[in-house]
């Protein structure tokens, strides 16, 4: 028991201090990259949007894009076999604004095994701009969003950028599930990856990805992506091909109405985190190790209390307390800077437990052949 406590205390101290240093340096990195003056004039930027059954949100998105201070844009929307009023709404906006064009995806369902990637692949040939902004239909953009993103890319000579929008969900439980993505801002050293590109540590989110078209063509783009992780996949592809990538702070400029309830949020986030590991039997081992580590982190506040009850103000208790406080304060800071409300920012133990459940359930879906269903399609 003594050895276990020593290992647990040491682990929490190391992971807590690492999270604190990483989070603070990431936040400093985001501020430095974002210190640019918005440029409202420049080359044509093509905004591409895959949309499947998005009648509740597509109008809000298109209206926000029409109001961009950066005027030289085209807006290409792929109606991906929607069964609701999505296409009708897009066509209505296209009639009012010639910058908006609507396309319909190929009806052959075999082409949609990878969902969003295939919709993006069908949009790319229609792109005319020097830059491509890929965004989701459930996002909403501040009027200076495109100008800011272009300015960051121009100022720092970047080929691709991504960042977290402000994530919105009416359900508390759903928002707890969505906040699982904050683990990346706490543990991934974005500042280090920017200076020393490492594909395995590169992270992106498909709600907002901006790319230089020339760099996209040189890498092969979405045609080279394996699996269904369009966001992480394209960012890692760029990094492997020596293109300049940065994960930036974008929450002030983009909001995303990601999911409407806890069940939808669980399935959506589960689908994303399951793609981190390859679909092979050997993946069971790293997933089991990761879940074990995450459970220990989630329960560490309880462990601190238990350790105090056993040993009082001992050196082990002090080290454990420092580690636990460092980790959860880091989480709180990362969440607040990314636009999460206070109640969600302090719910890290709940979020981390949910991540564990998602991994286990995702593993079950893989090995039983059930896979992942999204927007009525089985994603392969």
- Same domain for 146 and 234, yes or no, is yes
- Same domain for 162 and 53, yes or no, is yes
How do residues 286-302 score in pLDDT, each as one tens digit?
A: 778 888 999 999 999 99
Mean pLDDT of 3-29: 95
Torsion angle of the four alpha carbons 51, 261, 112, 82, in this order, in degrees rounded to the nearest 10: -40
- Same domain for 117 and 252, yes or no, is yes
Reduced 3-state DSSP string for 302-333: HHHHHHHHHHCCCHHHHHHHHHHHHHHHHHHH
Mean pLDDT of 94-114: 79
- The highest-confidence range among 73-77, 182-186, 223-227, 376-380, by mean pLDDT, is 73-77
How do residues 186-202 score in pLDDT, each as one tens digit?
A: 999 999 999 999 998 99
- Same domain for 165 and 241, yes or no, is yes
The number of helices, as runs of H, and strands, as runs of E, in the chain is 16, 12
Domain range holding 129?
Answer: 32-262
What is the pTM (predicted TM-score) of this model?
Answer: 0.89
Distance CA 143, CA 140 (A): 10
CA 302 to chain centre: 30
Domain membership flag for residue 211? yes
- Compute the mean pLDDT over every residue in the chain, rounded to the nearest whole number: 90
| Cα torsion angle, 336, 339, 344, 347, sign | negative
pLDDT at position 225 is 85
Domain membership flag for residue 267? no
Out of 12-26, 207-221, 361-375, pick the least confident: 361-375
Q: Would you place residue 380 in the very low, low, confident or very high pLDDT band (cuts 50, 70, 90)?
A: low
DSSP, residue by residue, 244-281: -EEEEE-TTTEEEE--SSHHHHHHHHHHHHHTTS-SSG
Residue 111 has pLDDT above 60, yes or no: no
- Same domain for 247 and 284, yes or no, is no
How do residues 196-226 score in pLDDT, each as one tens digit?
A: 999 989 999 999 999 999 999 999 999 998 7
pLDDT at position 237 is 96
Residue 369 has pLDDT above 80, yes or no: no
Domain boundary among 234, 262, 290: 262
Tokens of residue 350, six digits: 């709940």
- Same domain for 223 and 293, yes or no, is no
Distance CA 31, CA 249 (A): 8
Domain membership flag for residue 249? yes
pLDDT at position 358 is 87
pLDDT at position 264 is 83
Q: Are 207 and 121 in contact (CB under 8 A)?
A: no
pLDDT at position 169 is 85
CA angle 15, 20, 303 (to 5 degrees): 45
């Amino acid at each position: 028991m003594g050895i276990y406590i020593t290992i647990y205390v040491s682990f929490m101290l190391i992971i807590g201090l690492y999270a604190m240093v990483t989070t603070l340096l990431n936040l400093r990195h985001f501020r430095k990259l974002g210190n640019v003056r918005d440029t409202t004039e420049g080359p044509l930027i093509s905004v591409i949007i895959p949309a499947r059954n998005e009648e509740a949100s597509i109008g809000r998105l298109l209206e926000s894009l029409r109001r961009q201070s950066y005027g030289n844009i085209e807006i290409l929307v792929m109606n991906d076999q929607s069964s609701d009023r999505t296409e009708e709404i897009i066509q209505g906006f296209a009639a009012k604004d010639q910058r908006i064009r609507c396309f319909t995806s190929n009806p052959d369902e075999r082409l949609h095994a990878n969902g969003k990637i295939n919709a993006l692949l069908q949009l790319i040939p229609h792109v005319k701009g020097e830059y491509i902004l890929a965004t989701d239909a459930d996002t909403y953009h501040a009027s200076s969003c495109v100008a800011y993103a272009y300015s960051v890319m121009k100022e720092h000579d970047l080929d691709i950028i991504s960042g977290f929008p402000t994530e919105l969900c009416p359900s508390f439980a759903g928002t707890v599930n969505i906040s699982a993505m904050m683990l990346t801002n706490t543990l991934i050293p974005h500042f280090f990856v920017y200076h020393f590109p490492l594909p395995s540590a590169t992270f992106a989110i498909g709600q907002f990805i901006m790319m230089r078209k020339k760099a996209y063509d040189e890498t092969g783009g979405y045609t080279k992506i394996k699996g269904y992780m369009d966001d992480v996949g394209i960012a890692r592809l760029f990094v492997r091909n020596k293109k300049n990538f940065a994960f930036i702070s974008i929450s002030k400029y983009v909001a995303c109405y990601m999911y409407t309830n806890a069940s939808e949020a669980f399935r959506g986030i589960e689908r994303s985190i399951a793609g981190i590991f390859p679909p092979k039997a050997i993946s069971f081992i790293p997933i089991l190790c990761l879940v074990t580590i995450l459970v220990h982190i989630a329960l560490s506040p309880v462990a601190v209390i238990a350790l105090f009850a056993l040993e009082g103000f001992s050196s082990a208790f002090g080290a454990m307390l420092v580690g636990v406080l460092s980790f959860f304060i880091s989480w709180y800071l990362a969440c607040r800077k990314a636009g999460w409300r206070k109640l969600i920012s302090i719910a890290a133990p709940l979020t981390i437990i949910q991540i564990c459940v998602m991994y286990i359930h995702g593993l079950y879906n893989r090995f039983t052949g059930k896979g992942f269903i999204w927007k009525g399609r089985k994603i392969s």
